[in-house]
Amino acid sequence: MKIEIKRETLLRPLQSIIGVVERRQTLPVLANVLLVADDQGLGLTATDLEVEIAARVDVPIAEAGQITVPARKMMDIVRNLPEGSDITVAVDQDRALVTSERSRFTLTTLPATEFPTVEDIGESQPLLLSQGSLRRLIEKTQFSMALQDVRYYLNGLLLELDPDRLRAVATDGHRLALGEVPGAVDVSESKQVIVPRKGVQELLRLLGDDDSEVRVELGSNHLRVTLTDLRFTSKLIDGRFPEYQRVIPAVDERILLADRDALRQALVRASILSNEKYRGVRFMVDQGSLRIQSNNPEQEEAVEELTVDYQGTPLEIGFNASYLLDAIGAIETDQVSIGLVDANSSCLVTAAGDASHQYVVMPMRL
């Protein structure tokens, strides 16, 4: 195997795939990147057995072949070579030689046959949508995923495929985030999969904000997302996600409309003197006004008052300020809507006049 390639051409795919390579591996080959040189160019693949990212670059191949080399060492070598350098990678028996002008590096290798790859995911119903749409969908929901919860199915993001939309849902048991984007797909009934946290974070890192098309495929045990020159594959969490529709409150009368930035800033200031562990703030709503109050074990207190659009009956309720701030931060409109039921029920946070993204926050006893 032998290839000649520009530094930047090789660095870009290496940067895309390096995130899945763990520093501590159970199998030595998982610390390596798979290089495949064939008539289609150079393919690079990295995996941790849960997430796999494969990249391809269109370069002429001097000599076809395949091998695995230490991923992070290869990345560091290429990154630290001068810009515009020409790099030659050649395999000599069980060594890989990386040369560039007066620089020469000899790396150990492992056979490509030892490298585990996922080719067929048994996909069904591919969905086509823009990179930007998929990125925003994940970005605006993933923060509600649980972190190392014993209910392992909460440590991931639910993707639900309907005949006319793709929906993402995340919950940690105290709050819930739901978003959806339209997309035509040939399915007769809903299909649900749960993508693990690492897969969600790596996919978010790979996706751009542009309108280029991505192909989303849901297999029996894997999710695959294909970009222009990248292919992302993640194992799925085997479990049953909670019936999230049941926790979304039906709100009709007590709807509070507030300026998003003013509410966010008031919450940030009020939370300064809240209990550091529970971050609790008290909402006292009345017609036309919202009073936000917090205190802590040191008997310190903060009070913020806002003019809001609220025509319902007076209500006093406690919330975790951080959860509300996360929800409000995911909303882009000037006004935010908070639907309230009673002092013991969750609230529903949405953009004013747009329910495509919904955020449910449970109340706190203060």
pLDDT tens for 300-336 read 999 999 999 999 999 999 999 999 999 999 999 999 9
Is the separation of the CB atoms in 137 and 180 below 8 Å? yes
Is the separation of the CB atoms in 306 and 289 below 8 Å? yes
Say whether pTM exceeds 0.85: yes
Pick the more confident residue, 15 or 366.
Answer: 15
Question: What value, to the nearest 5°, has the Cα angle with vertex 322 and ends 255 and 150?
Answer: 110
Is the separation of the CB atoms in 92 and 61 below 8 Å? no
Return d(Cα 68, Cα 116) in angstroms, integer: 11
With b meaning 16 or more CB within 10 Å and e meaning fewer, what string describes 334-343? ebbbbbbbee
Count of CB atoms situated within 10 Å of the CB of 20:
23
- Mean pLDDT, the chain, whole residue set: 95
Note the pLDDT of residue 187: 73
Is the separation of the CB atoms in 100 and 81 below 8 Å? yes
Residue 123 has pLDDT above 90, yes or no: no
User: By C-alpha distance, which of 237, 244, 216 is closest to 135?
Assistant: 216
Residues of the chain with pLDDT > 70: what percent? 98
Residue 257 has pLDDT above 80, yes or no: yes
Note the pLDDT of residue 183: 75
Q: What are phi and psi of 145, to 5 degrees?
A: -65, 145
Residue 124 has pLDDT above 80, yes or no: no
Taken in order of first residue, the domains within the chain and their CATH numbers are: 2-114 (3.10.150.10), 124-245 (3.10.150.10), 248-361 (3.10.150.10)
Residue type, 68: T
Residue type, 131: Q
Q: What pLDDT band is residue 125 in, cutting at 50, 70 and 90? A: low
Distances (CA, A) of 219 to 45, 52, 124: 20, 14, 6
Q: With the C-alpha atoms ordered 355, 360, 365, 366, is the resulting torsion angle positive or negative?
A: negative
Sequence-ordered alpha helix ranges (H) in the chain: 7-17, 71-80, 131-139, 197-206, 260-271, 321-329
Q: What is the pLDDT of residues 101-112, one digit of tens each?
A: 999 999 999 999
Question: What value, to the nearest 5°, has the Cα angle with vertex 147 and ends 202 and 265?
Answer: 90
